[in-house]
Amino acid sequence: MTDISTYAPMTMARKVDVSSSAAKARIRARYRSEALFKSYGIAALVVTGAFLVMLLTNILMNGLPSFWQHSLKLDVPLTASDIDPTGKGDLKEIAAGDFAAVARKALEAQFPGVDGRSELKTLSRLISVGAGDELRQTVLANPKLIGQTVQSRLLLEANSDLYLKGNGGGISARTARGIATPTGTTGTIKILTSANDFSDDFQKSKSLLAARAAVLSTEAARLERANTPDSLVKAKAARDEAAVFKARYAQPAQVEKLDDRMPSTLVEINGGLVKVEQILDTEIEGRVLIPLRSTDDAKAGDWKIVTYVTPESNRKTTDLEIAFLERLKAGGKVENHFNTLFFTAGDSRDPELAGVRGAIVGTVLTLLVTLGLCLPIGVMAAVYLEQFAPKNRLTGLIEVNINNLAAVPSIVFGLLGLAVFLNYFNLPRSAPLVGGLVLALLVLPTIIIASRAALKAVPPSIKEAALGVGASHQQAVFHHVLPLAMPGIMTGTIIGMAHALGETAPLLMIGMVAFIVDVPKGLVDAATVLPVQIYLWSDLPEPAFKAKTAGAIVVLLGVLFLMNGLAIWLRKKFERRW
């Protein structure tokens, strides 16, 4: 061995050392760094995946409820006096008939004792202004129904719908122990009970007052510390109010008034509903929301105390509305059904009547214009630049500019569209034609770049083979190179179109942001597109439009996934080995 080791440095200059501890340390370090790199990748994937899942669940949770809608299923008497006052059976007159009144009357029939003006008004506000539309369609299809009673679906107003979807806060009810005696059936009445059934709510109202007084005191202290003339005035007011509250809760036996900043307490008795306004352990005074059948005593277990947990001032639906809706729900008159209107209607100011059809049709028309312009121009430009153009400074300049155009902010294209298409060519505003033109400008660079990459990826041997058998340059390109580049071109085009589908900013500039109710019928009709519709709805104050916004996002994402799926499918289908 010693012989060899002395010769080794001469005969073999270097030998890979595999057994020394330094070598082992090197191997360990290599493994460690590989494992580390792998774990970075996995961590990145996990984080991305988690965010994606979070985003999707959030969107779906917000958006999916808007695909369902609550309606009332009621027996509607089709009274001739409302629908066809002249009695001639003329379809035009029937179409102009007051179906809203018919719907309203059908709803009022559900609450026989309710006859106050404001109560009736509240009742009619529960259903949508378009509640009669379905009735109208039914009657127009079959005018013989006039005078008969049909069962029909009456669309609920958006806030009622939201309440029924569970955005109204909780309701708790408990059966009372004593025997209750109401003093009247309508108006303001008193209810006396033989047990102290109301003591819980009574105590709760006192403790709420205490809490409120405490908050006011803290606020007053803060204002006093600020020590400006203005804040001192406010501090005094707060102190005074706190003192009033203090005086009220300091006397445990005194009657307490409930206001709309406390949970609403109601008494369900004798088929009616009374909203508690003043409360004691054994007695309440309140306003009748739904009239009582009689003033008979109600036995223990026959009457209930209901609490709407969210204070009235914190919710969109009033106690009266909740009372009506809960009564209708208990009567099995409420139906939750798939919201077909969302997909068949155009935009509307009333959330329950608003749909995405107009936006979808507008999107399709716009994208058709974009595709029709982009695909031929983009592909031909790419073919020319990649295969035919002489390589000189001019084509170099064009190439650089195309690449730069792909990075230009989209709103700039909108400005260009405004200046050129609208102002110079006097094309109509808000039209899918102009939208398509503007988006075509936006997508063109993307398609040219993708197509050029796809053309470049075709092995030159294929073109040489074609030239070798005597094909002209053009034949070689169009018979062999272009078909092989087609999957790549298709993918690039669809990704470009998906980009166009999500584009809002340039369309705002050319007026596609207008409120458009009608579904567009042609390329020059006023229209809007899905992302702009989302933008419009997200800006509206009604809470129901929030759900609509999320719903429209789900639709947009669905369309996007569909397009990307198509891109993948096309790629797989036309992908060829060479």
Partner 1 sequence: MDTMSTTPSIATQVGAANMSTAASHNGKVTARDVNVYYGDKHALKSVSVDIPDRSVTSFIGPSGCGKSTFLRCINRMNDTIASCRVTGKIEIDGQDIYDPSLDVVQLRARVGMVFQKPNPFPKSIYENVAYGPRIHGLATSKSELDEIVNASLEKAGLWKEVKDRLQESGTGLSGGQQQRLCIARAVAVGPEVILMDEPCSALDPIATAKVEELIDELRQNFCIIIVTHSMQQAARVSQRTAFFHLGTLVEEGKTTDIFTKPLDKRTQDYITGRTG
What part of residues 36-75 is at the interface with partner 1 (CB under 8 A)? none
Residue 459 binding partner 1, by CB under 8 A? yes
Q: Which of 36, 465, 517, 568 binds partner 1 (CB under 8 A)?
A: 465
For partner 1, which is the closer residue by CB, 349 or 479? 479
Q: How many residues does the chain have?
A: 578
Q: CB–CB of 84/146 below 8 Å?
A: yes
Q: Which of 229, 301, 332, 470 binds partner 1 (CB under 8 A)?
A: 470
d(CA 31, CA 20): 17
Residue 394 binding partner 1, by CB under 8 A? no
d(CA 242, CA 51): 47
Sole window of 33-41, 337-345, 461-469, 508-516 interacting with partner 1 (rule: CB under 8 A): 461-469
Residue 466 binding partner 1, by CB under 8 A? yes
From the CB of 349, what's the least distance to partner 1, in Å? 57
For partner 1, which is the closer residue by CB, 376 or 459? 459
Residue 548 binding partner 1, by CB under 8 A? no
What part of residues 71-110 is at the interface with partner 1 (CB under 8 A)? none
Q: Where does residue 388 rank: exposed (0-12), middle (13-18), buried (19+ CB within 10 A)?
A: exposed
Q: Which of 136, 480, 546, 548 binds partner 1 (CB under 8 A)?
A: 480
Residue in 527, 508, 505, 524 with CA at minimum distance from that of residue 516? 527
- Which residues contact residue 220 at a Cβ distance below 8 angstroms, ignoring those fewer than 6 apart? 235, 236, 238, 239, 242
Residue in 350, 276, 257 with CA at minimum distance from that of residue 319? 276
- Residue 207 bridge partners (DSSP): none
523-to-67, 372, 529 alpha-carbon distances in Å:
29, 13, 13
Question: CA torsion, points 114, 119, 123, 126, in degrees to nearest 10?
Answer: -150
State whether residue 309 is helix, strand or coil. coil
Residue 144 binding partner 1, by CB under 8 A? no
Residue 467 binding partner 1, by CB under 8 A? yes
**Planar angle of CA 117, 120, 122, nearest 5 degrees:** 110
Residue 112 binding partner 1, by CB under 8 A? no
Q: Which of 14, 15, 92, 391 binds partner 1 (CB under 8 A)?
A: 391
For partner 1, which is the closer residue by CB, 275 or 463? 463
For partner 1, which is the closer residue by CB, 356 or 485? 485
For partner 1, which is the closer residue by CB, 251 or 475? 475
Sole window of 67-75, 113-121, 212-220, 460-468 interacting with partner 1 (rule: CB under 8 A): 460-468
- In the complex, the residues that contact partner 1 under the rule CB under 8 A are 390-391, 459, 461-462, 464-473, 475, 479-480, 484, 576-578
